């Protein structure tokens, strides 16, 4: 242990071989975190929870405070690593040797005892090892340029400027830049942000490191942009950048906090952090939206796994999508024989020609309308009629609606204003996961014989053109197309609020989708899904854009599901005996052994994947056991 208090903190090295960590390049999906202006205890707590630092900044030298970015140290990101603060140059050199490590991040700061360094290290070997690596320090801008010119087979990996009595100096890490590790790269020292932005465009590049000088100028490192998306922002509120990242399906890889006359701001570099399906759907959802709009998307097989999602658990203003909970409540009462679709509902409506009035604007000129509960639900779900919605809310009560939702897991939903009375009111709140839980409860039979009514009352033809277009080009027989169409179903609800006085636009759509899948024995099962998307806080003038984007994103997800379902119908031939994996005419222990040997995810077609979902799991085992015995 070092005599002085440098960081006596070293994360435990994972005993198995480390998988790739490309630092700013890695795009495998992972949990990630950032902390800003925190003390050592907060950083240690984050590390103790199983996370690994990937970016480190000294926010303040005395007392010591940090800005850090971390990833979960597991899966593709699993690695041994160390971090140190308060270290001198000789101590860092010794630690690199003792740990057999290489530097990933270097920070320099002044203390009463002189310059000190904070660093992140990783093992020098492993799957992401580089052929040659080291670090340099104490170089002027001219010195950096001279070093780079003298070392054409090396490139700078991480860089930091710092001030001394002799002027600005730089420390940096470097790696080999030949063979498989070779890449074009660019560096810019002591520039403005506008100039850096110009260079990014000129080079078709992305940032891997952005560092602020004390005088407000910047230095940057760049690599070719590549195929995976990235983003960068500056002038952001330190506590709003998480929303910025998650709405884009991204994680922070570089974080710089700096003072301004209007308070502290941050610059961040973001990298993709979602699967391909989410990435493509989210690109459609956010196309051309303003920077500060928030959004979310979610696709989940009911009683199954998540297929795509970002911000799925974040509360948002759903506008008329909130009526899904009103509708669910009404149908729960009907199924319990506590109400009837034929019962009369009496409620106030504005005079004819004034249907745009809000329920909260009711006065003595309004008339009482009487119609069946079924008709009122149709108005609410198919027409987004706010007066019908208020009639349903008043009929069952806000508390009942929320309690019934919470009982099936939808516990983040709150009715805070009367639907239609948005401007100047507290927002209603729900999440895409809450909405999915409602549809999952319905699909699981909670409404008994009224499940079909629940779906039929909702909008069920919005995406029909997508279905028919895919079937038209599918190559399926006319009989198969007819059967596929008859079994497919959608039941969705859209939402739209705009408030010019607040310069806000909010759009959403969410609902249920059912598609038939043909199994290997040619039997057909219906797979059920939830798809939802939302945009909040778009600018008022972006209302039409946001509406179109929500539709495009949900359509894209639906189309992907349709194509997968159609592909299962194109399978030629059927298994002579379902579950007879070895073809001996009997479903028995020998076949069970074959199925268990394939347990887990199927990288390609597996005979044990009886339900065709890409995994050999408990569902397949259940199907297999149901076919046990001689083939008929």
| Position 245 in a domain | no
By residue range, what is the domain housing residue 41? 1-17+32-129
Could you tell me if 311 and 246 are in contact, meaning their C-beta atoms sit under 8 angstroms apart? Answer: yes
Phi/psi-derived region of residue 548, left when phi > 0, alpha when psi is between -120 and 50, beta in every other case: alpha
- Residues with Cβ within 8 Å of 362's Cβ and at least 6 positions away in sequence, in order, are 348, 350
d(CA 628, CA 78): 42
Residues 602 and 471 in one domain: no
Could you tell me if 52 and 31 are in contact, meaning their C-beta atoms sit under 8 angstroms apart? Answer: no
| Position 480 in a domain | yes
d(CA 498, CA 422): 9
Which of 539, 569, 599 corresponds to the end of one domain? 569
Residues 523 and 593 in one domain: no
Residues 539 and 465 in one domain: yes
The number of domains in the chain is 3
What average pLDDT values come out for the chain (632 residues) when binned by 10 residues? 32 32 77 98 98 97 97 95 98 97 97 96 86 95 98 97 97 94 96 98 98 98 94 97 97 98 97 97 97 97 97 98 99 99 96 76 89 98 96 98 99 97 94 99 98 96 94 96 97 95 94 92 90 97 97 98 95 69 84 92 83 89 90 67
- For every residue of 377-437, which 3-state class applies, written as one string? HHHHHHHCCHHHHHHHHHHHCHHHHHHHHHHCCCCCCECCCCCCCCCCCCCCEECHHHHHH
Residues 380 and 483 in one domain: yes
- Residues with Cβ within 8 Å of 121's Cβ and at least 6 positions away in sequence, in order, are 81, 82, 83, 84, 95, 96, 99, 101, 102, 103, 104
| Position 239 in a domain | no
Residue with structure tokens 């700013």? 24
Residue 172 vs residues 84, 136, 443, 591: alpha-carbon distances, Å: 16, 5, 57, 59
Instruction: Supply the pLDDT for residue 9.
Output: 40
Residues 365 and 456 in one domain: yes
Residues 605 and 528 in one domain: no
Instruction: Supply the pLDDT for residue 352.
Output: 77
Which of 96, 129, 162 corresponds to the end of one domain? 129
Residues 590 and 544 in one domain: no
d(CA 326, CA 392): 6
Residue with structure tokens 């799957």? 127
Residues 3 and 82 in one domain: yes
| Position 75 in a domain | yes
| Position 170 in a domain | no
| Position 395 in a domain | yes
| Position 156 in a domain | no
pLDDT tens-place string over residues 333-357: 999 999 999 999 999 999 876 666 7
| Position 450 in a domain | yes
Which of 81, 108, 129 corresponds to the end of one domain? 129
Question: What's the CATH number where 410 sits?
Answer: 3.40.710.10
Residues 516 and 377 in one domain: yes
- Residues with Cβ within 8 Å of 220's Cβ and at least 6 positions away in sequence, in order, are 187, 188, 191, 196, 199, 207, 209, 210, 211
Residues 354 and 479 in one domain: yes
Residue with structure tokens 């459609």? 284
Instruction: Supply the pLDDT for residue 583.
Output: 72
Length of the chain: 632
Task: Detail the DSSP E strand segments found in 519-573.
Answer: 524-538
- Residues with Cβ within 8 Å of 85's Cβ and at least 6 positions away in sequence, in order, are 6, 7, 58, 64, 116, 117, 118
**What does the angle CA 347 – CA 350 – CA 353 come to, to the nearest 5 degrees?**
135
| Tokens describing residue 530 | 């939830």
364 CA to centre of own chain: 48
Residues 423 and 565 in one domain: yes
pLDDT tens-place string over residues 287-313: 999 999 999 999 999 999 999 999 999
Residues 520 and 424 in one domain: yes
Instruction: Supply the pLDDT for residue 580.
Output: 84
């Amino acid at each position: 242990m070092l005599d002085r208090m440098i960081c006596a903190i070293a994360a435990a090295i994972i005993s198995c071989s480390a998988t790739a960590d490309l630092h700013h390049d890695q795009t495998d999906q992972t949990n990630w975190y950032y902390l800003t202006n925190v003390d050592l205890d907060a950083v240690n707590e984050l590390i103790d929870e199983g996370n690994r630092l990937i970016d480190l900044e000294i926010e303040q030298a005395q007392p010591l405070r940090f800005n850090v970015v971390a990833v979960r140290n597991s899966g593709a990101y699993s690695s041994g690593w160390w971090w140190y603060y308060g270290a001198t140059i000789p101590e860092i050199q010794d630690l690199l040797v003792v740990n057999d490590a290489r530097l990933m991040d270097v920070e320099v700061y002044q203390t009463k005892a002189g310059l000190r360094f904070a660093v992140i290290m990783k093992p020098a070997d492993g799957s992401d090892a580089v052929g040659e690596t080291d670090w340099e320090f104490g170089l002027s801008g001219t010195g950096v340029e001279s070093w780079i010119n003298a070392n054409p087979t090396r490139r700078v990996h991480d860089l930091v400027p710092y001030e001394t009595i002799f002027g600005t100096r730089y420390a940096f890490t470097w790696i080999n830049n030949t063979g498989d590790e070779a890449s074009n790269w660019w560096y810019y020292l002591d520039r403005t942000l506008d100039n850096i932005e110009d260079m990014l465009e000129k080079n078709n590049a992305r940032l891997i490191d952005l560092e602020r000088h004390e005088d407000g100028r910047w230095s940057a490192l760049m690599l070719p942009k590549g195929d995976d998306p990235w983003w960068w922002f500056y002038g952001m509120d330190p506590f709003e950048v998480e929303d910025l990242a998650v709405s884009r399906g991204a994680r922070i890889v570089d974080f710089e906090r700096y003072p301004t006359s209007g308070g502290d701001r941050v610059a961040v570099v973001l990298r993709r952090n979602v699967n391909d399906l989410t990435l493509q759907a989210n690109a459609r959802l956010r196309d051309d939206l303003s920077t500060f709009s928030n959004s979310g998307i979610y696709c989940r097989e009911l009683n199954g796994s998540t297929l795509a999602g970002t911000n799925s658990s974040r509360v948002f203003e759903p506008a008329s999508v909130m009526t899904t909970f009103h509708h669910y409540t009404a149908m729960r009462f009907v199924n319990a024989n506590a109400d009837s679709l034929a019962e009369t509902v009496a409620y106030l409506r504005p005079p004819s020609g004034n249907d745009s009035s809000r329920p909260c604007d009711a006065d003595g000129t309004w008339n009482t309308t009487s119609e069946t509960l079924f008709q009122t639900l149709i108005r609410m779900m198919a027409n987004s009629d706010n007066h019908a919605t208020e009639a349903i809310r008043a009929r069952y009560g806000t508390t009942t609606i929320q309690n019934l939702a919470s009982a099936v897991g939808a516990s983040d939903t709150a009715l805070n204003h009367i639907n239609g009375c948005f401007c100047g009111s507290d927002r209603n709140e729900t999440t895409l996961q809450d909405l999915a839980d409602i549809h999952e409860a319905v699909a699981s039979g909670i409404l008994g014989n009224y499940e079909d009514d629940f779906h039929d009352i909702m909008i069920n033809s919005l995406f029909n053109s997508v279905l028919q277009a895919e079937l038209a080009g599918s190559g399926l027989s006319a009989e198969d197309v007819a059967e596929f169409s008859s079994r497919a179903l959608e039941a969705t609800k859209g939402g739209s609020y705009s408030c010019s006085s607040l310069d806000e636009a909010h759009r959403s759509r969410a609902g249920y989708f059912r598609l038939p899948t043909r199994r290997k024995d040619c039997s057909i099962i219906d797979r059920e899904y939830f798809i939802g998307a939302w945009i909040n806080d778009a600018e008022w003038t972006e209302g039409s854009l946001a509406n179109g984007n929500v539709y495009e994103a949900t359509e894209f997800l639906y189309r992907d599901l349709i194509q997968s379902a159609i592909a299962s119908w194109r399978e030629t031939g059927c298994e002579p005996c379902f579950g007879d994996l070895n073809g001996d005419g009997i479903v028995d222990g020998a076949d069970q052994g074959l199925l268990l040997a394939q347990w887990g995810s199927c990288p390609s077609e597996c005979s044990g994947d009886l339900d065709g979902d890409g995994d050999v799991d408990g569902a397949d085992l259940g199907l297999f056991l149901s076919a046990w015995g001689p083939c008929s």
